[in-house]
Amino acid sequence: MSNSDQARHAAAVALLDHVLAHLANESRHLDEMIVCSRELQRRLRRQTEDGGDELAQLFQEIERQQAAINQTRGGVIADLATLPGAPANLSAYLSLLAEDQAMPIRQLRNEIVEKLDTVRSITLGNQMVFHYSHDFYQRMLRALTGNEAQPGGYGPSGRRESVETGKVMLRNC
């Protein structure tokens, strides 16, 4: 191993604890995001008369967890950039480590990927509930006010929506 390779390896090992701490922290934040997302899902599906404040608090907590992940991730990326040869990503960093040093990072990384998939799945379900609930109430109000055949309100893009007839539950998100 050349002197430059030894220096790169030594610098990579020095960052090992920092990267492991970051990944463990990110995993904890994802756990909290999953708990909040599931609570939001439970409240949406239960459709009780919870005030908007409780839902807003859940949204804020999810955003806070995401911001914490992004902040610490930025620090790790900056630290990786200080290594000789500046690895472009975590995979390149792992190639600088011995297999026994890289294994805990790989395990945490796989755990984080699984948790991200869980968060995405719950979030997609919540988005669908929001969309269908909003669409249902919008159609119901149009029907109650006699505006079924007239163009609807403004959509998220700022354009007027046309009122579609048909089955509410079979529309695509």
Question: Does 77 or 169 have the greater pLDDT score?
Answer: 77
4 C-beta neighbours (distance < 10 Å), count: 10
Q: Check whether 169 has a pLDDT greater than 60.
A: no
Phi first, then psi, for residue 55 (nearest 5°) are -65, -40
Pick the CATH number of 3-127 from 1.10.10, 1.10.1060, 1.20.58, 1.10.3470: 1.20.58
Any idea where the domains of the chain sit in the sequence?
A: 3-127
113: which strand partners? none
| CB-based contact 163:152 (threshold 8 Å) | yes
Q: Check whether 28 has a pLDDT greater than 80.
A: yes
pTM for the whole structure = 0.67
Contacts of 33 (CB under 8 A, 6+ apart): 62, 65, 66, 119
